[in-house]
Amino acid sequence: MTNPNSPSPHASSAPALPAGLGPAQHGMWVTEQVLSPGAAHHLVVTARFTGPTAPDAAALAAGCARLLARHPVLL
């Protein structure tokens, strides 16, 4: 397991500005703009953690916060 405070392994190779959309992403964007806004391309995932391997809720929340800090496009 890696140190959660270490920088992303690819942080130095990340572009300074966001990259343009790929062809599939552009098609999804156009569809969303033309049709009424909705949740057609949203994915909802539910995970249930039980038993002795269930993560600590605070640690899980902190991990999600670090993930979003590294990848703001997920916001």
Which pLDDT belongs to residue 70?
92
Question: What's the pTM?
Answer: 0.43
Q: Residue 71 is encoded by which pair of tokens?
A: 């990848």
Q: How far apart are CA 14 and CA 38, in angstroms?
A: 31
Q: Find where tokens 């949203």 sit.
A: 42
pLDDT, one tens digit per residue, over 16-70 is 666 788 888 888 888 888 886 677 777 888 988 888 888 888 998 999 999 999 9
